[in-house]
Amino acid sequence: MKGDGRLGHDLDPGDRAPQDACGVFGVWAPGEDVSKLTYYGLYALQHRGQESAGIAVSEGSRILIYKDMGLVAQVFDESILGTLRGHLAIGHCRYSTTGSSVWENAQPTLSSSEGGGLALAHNGNLINTAELMERLPAGAIKATTDTEVLTALLAQDGSRPVEEAAAELFPEVKGAYSLVWMNETTLFAARDPQGIRPLVLGRLPGTANVGQDRAGNEKTGWVVASETAALDIVGASFVREIEPGELLTIDERGVRSLRFATPEPKGCLFEYVYLARPDTTIAGRGVQATRVEVGRALAREHPVEADLVIPTPESGTPAAIGYAEQSGIPYGQGLVKNSYVGRTFIQPSQTIRQLGIRLKLNPLREVIEGKRLVVVDDSIVRGNTQRAIVKMLREAGATEVHVRISSPPVAWPCFYGIDFATRAELIAGSLSVEEIRASLGADSLGYISLDGLTQATTIPADRLCRACFDGRYPIPIDQDRIGKYVLEAQR
Ligand code: SF4
């Protein structure tokens, strides 16, 4: 079972949610409990990957890594964190976009050379992994991920400073990569020239025991994270986004920036639709505010006469609030979610399995009965979830069910770190909106337009990746050479 059991899509095991690539976190803060800061940072990023979690630390002379399959809270406890001591750390929570979900592929990855050790955590997906693999000696890596290839390539030349080797390598690396990595003394971070996945820099206030540098300036602690929500949880203030094509080096001399490529920003539009936390800010725009605004635009684009607007909990909630505000139709909670059922490790019996979506959602009959409903969700992948919801609402007495979706039809797969279904499995890959409506059994169906969604982000269209909606991939794709199991296929 994928997902954290709280996101709207994972209501039906047969209609898997779009899975994000991962969450990454890094901290440089002498005198602080860096493993605990990393733990809490990963905790805030758990929605970005629930298959495995790991933390690497160093106290200046050697790197220690602990990682395992499972959620952050399942992998780590006080005693494990107590053994992970040092002044810098990186962490990772993973969903597999290249390579299977097995322990060997959990991150951070570790590689060593005569220059020392290197641990790396990656959010995104590379599209020229097979080509990069050819630069390594045969048998150089055991794992099956693009991240392992990148780690081995970065560690390959131990005779040069890490940032120098990285700045030379990165222009050859194609695809999405928001990276944090470390050697024994230094924290590094970098973002691909398109900046597809988010990555932010934060500062720890009043960091204890850090002292002053030789010039008498107060030293401080630094944090790098996939989302601003992870800065908030550790009490770090937001400094800025790491720029597309930028590499940061963080040590006792502070933060140094190096540009390894000209920025060509193409941030992922789907982060706003579904992937990022609502309390995160991307490119200066709050995700929750964007989602509510999309709901308003949806009401303008697809009005309907109805008695109640309800969300598919929880991912449809902000857009449903916006739809209700704009349309003047009352907002209500018509479906109650068993929030944590997606994480049960007890296999359901056949009888229970037949309940399908009822295991996760229960309609509030007294709210729904006799009403014309607008049901708002964030996106449709295969359509199984929405079909089951429409049926359930009708059985609970709804007289009409109008489905409104706060993203345009998802018709194309993502090669930059989100594991959608294939084009053949995506319902909008082959059916028209009217055919999808009929397939869901809804009275009407309305998707926000691509322009409407883009405007709600306040980011110009040419600075966004929108490929899963319009099929225009900002980094050219060689479909024959990529795929989740590309490295396993080569064996
Ligand atoms: S294809 Fe879609 S999910 Fe993938 S990076 Fe582009 S906008 Fe994001």
pLDDT tens-place values along the chain, 491 residues long = 233 323 334 445 455 555 556 899 999 999 999 999 999 999 999 999 888 999 999 999 999 999 999 999 999 999 999 999 999 999 999 876 555 666 777 899 998 877 789 999 999 999 998 889 888 888 777 766 788 889 989 988 778 889 999 999 999 999 999 999 999 999 999 999 999 999 999 999 865 455 554 555 566 799 999 999 999 999 999 999 999 999 999 999 999 999 999 999 999 999 999 889 999 999 888 999 999 999 999 999 999 999 999 999 888 999 999 999 999 999 999 999 876 544 444 555 656 555 667 777 899 999 999 999 999 999 998 898 899 999 999 999 999 999 999 999 999 989 998 877 678 888 999 999 999 999 999 999 999 999 999 999 999 999 999 999 999 999 988 765 445 544 444 33
Q: What is the pLDDT of residue 349?
A: 60
Task: Supply angle C-alpha 18, 405, 385, rounded to 5.
Answer: 55
**Residue 485: which of 98, 130, 196 has the closest Cα?**
98
What the block records as the tokens of 4 is: 């954290």
Q: Are strands 464-465 and 267-268 parallel, antiparallel or unpaired?
A: parallel
Q: What SS3 state is found at 373? A: strand
**Per-residue model confidence (pLDDT) at position 418:** 85
Architecture of domain 9-266: 4-Layer Sandwich (3.60)
Q: How far is CA 9 from the centre of its chain?
A: 14
The model's pTM: 0.89
**CATH for 284-459 (2.40.170.20, 3.10.129.10, 3.10.20.30, 3.40.50.2020):** 3.40.50.2020
pLDDT confidence of residue 206 = 66
Buried b (16+ CB within 10 A) or exposed e, 35-62: bbbbbbbbbbbbbbbbbbbbbbbbbeee
d(CA 166, CA 154): 6
93 is in an annotated binding site: no
For residue 416, the CA-to-ligand 1 centroid distance in Å is: 6
Long-range contact list for 70-73, CB < 8 A, 24+ apart? Answer: 71/4, 71/46, 71/343, 72/39, 72/42, 72/43, 72/46, 73/43
Nearest to 419 by CA among 38, 69, 3: 3
What is the predicted pLDDT for the residue at 147? Answer: 86
How far is the C-alpha of 203 from the C-alpha of 224, rounded, in Å?
A: 9
Handedness of CA 271, 342, 53, 143 (dihedral sign): negative
Residue 20 has what DSSP assignment? P
Rounded distance, CA 421 to CA 372, Å?
A: 32
What pLDDT shows up at residue 345? 46
Rounded distance between C-alpha atoms, residue 170 and residue 260, angstroms: 7
Catalytic residue among 11, 22, 234, 453: 22
Contact yes or no for 357/333 (Cβ under 8 A): no
What is the number of the ligand 1 atom nearest to the C-alpha of 415? 4
Cα separation, 147 vs 458, whole angstroms:
32
Distance from Cα 206 to the centre of ligand 1, integer Å? 38
467 alpha carbon to ligand 1 midpoint, in Å?
6
The answer to whether the 9-266 and 284-459 domains have the same CATH topology is no
Say if ligand 1 is within 6 A of residue 270 CB.
Answer: yes
**22 flagged as catalytic:** yes
Other C-beta atoms lying within 10 Å of the C-beta of residue 349: 8
For the CA of 176, the nearest atom of ligand 1: 5
The 10 Å CB-count burial string (b at 16+, else e) for 81-97 is: beebebbbbbbbbbbbb
Domain locations along the chain: 9-266, 284-459
Query: What span, in angstroms and rounded, lies between the C-alpha atoms of 314 and 16?
Result: 15
Q: Is 418 in the pocket of ligand 1 (CB under 6 A)?
A: yes
Q: Whose CA is nearest to atom 8 of ligand 1?
A: 268
Nearest to 66 by CA among 79, 54, 75: 54
Q: What is the pLDDT of residue 160?
A: 86
Which atom in ligand 1 lies closest to the alpha carbon of residue 469?
2
Pocket flag, ligand 1, residue 21 (CB < 6 Å): no
Answer positive or negative: Cα dihedral of 466, 470, 471, 475: negative
Determine if ligand 1 sits within 6 Å of the CB of residue 260. Answer: no
- 3-state SS class at 69: strand
- The count of other CB atoms within 10 Å of the CB of residue 192 is 28
List, as one string, the DSSP characters of 119-157. EEEEES-BS-HHHHHTTSPTT---S-SHHHHHHHHHHS-
